[in-house]
Amino acid sequence: MHLILTGATGLVGSGILQTMLTNPSITKLSILSRKPVPLAETHPNHEKANIILHSDFKKYPENVLAQLRGADGCVWALGTSSSGVNREKYTEITQTYTLSAARAFSPLNSPKPFKFLYISGEGATTSPGIFTPMFGVVKGKTEADLLALSAKEKDCENLKVYNLRPGAVDAFAHEEIKEFVPQRKGMLKFIELGLFPVVRMCSRNMYTPTREFGRVVTELMLGDGEKLEGSGIVEGSGGRTLSNIGLRRLGGW
């Protein structure tokens, strides 16, 4: 299987990347990145990774699409924290980039189904209130827009969307990626050291270990699109949305 991955140098993306490189069912992994991806370059299975340096995630010229053609799906793990970013920039990165990619990639393997798995996050909502934080509103709107694409746009008729909402993502037990993931600094480092052990022990429904999460993402991409059922999973006409509770059930953590 040929898959596309973005956000491969981040915490979430690194966990997914390590799992996909290890899985023999994934024979080609096209990685779109603004910068080199050391984890892919140094991995024993580096030969199946094709790193495509790309700077403008609002557009995809033919020389980029040619390298992606025939892909079965994309895992969109590119994103940024809403902290210190104004709404316009956060919306561009979170919503505009994501929808631009879904539109550009859907025809890559047409008429076969194209899976687009969007890494959203707990707190995202499609029914925001006046106290919903910015990230929850923008991510929720992105989820809804993705789910609507297959019905609204002819070129996206084959799009199958997975919206995933991980909680507090932690690489504590994922030794293979620790040297490659960004290190939190300052107050964020303090919060990580103090809060994550408590979350791991006392709030499992909000906890997302990178290794197990990477396996769930990989299994969803390799699956046949069968209907998912149970708590934490919402099926819709354009795809499905999985909260961290649903992810935890699938991943067994």
* Residue 212, beta-bridge partner list: none
pLDDT the model gives residue 205? 75
Does the pLDDT of residue 185 top 90, yes or no?
A: no
Does the pLDDT of residue 187 top 60, yes or no?
A: no
| C-alpha pair distances (Å), 6 with each of 17, 51, 116, 137, 173 | 9, 10, 11, 22, 23
pLDDT the model gives residue 197? 63
Q: Mean pLDDT across the stretch 109-119?
A: 96
Domains in the chain and their CATH numbers? 2-251 (3.40.50.720)
Q: Mean pLDDT across the stretch 169-183?
A: 90
Tokens 């297959």, residue?
150
Low-confidence winner among 3-7, 163-167, 229-233 (lowest mean pLDDT): 229-233
Q: Mean pLDDT across the stretch 167-172?
A: 90
pLDDT the model gives residue 83? 84
pTM, two decimals, is 0.93
pLDDT tens-digit series, residues 197-206:
666 665 667 7
Q: What is the dihedral of CA 98, 24, 239, 61, to 10 degrees?
A: 30
Sequence-distant (≥ 6) Cβ neighbours of residue 119 within 8 angstroms: 7, 12, 13, 75, 76, 77, 79, 164, 166, 217
Q: Mean pLDDT across the stretch 8-24?
A: 98
pLDDT tens-digit series, residues 52-71:
999 999 999 999 999 999 99
pLDDT the model gives residue 236? 87
Percentage of the chain surpassing pLDDT 90? Answer: 81
pLDDT tens-digit series, residues 125-159:
999 999 999 999 999 999 999 999 999 999 999 99
Top-confidence residue, 85 or 202: 85
Q: How many CB atoms lie within 10 A of CB 197?
A: 12
Q: Mean pLDDT across the stretch 112-128?
A: 96
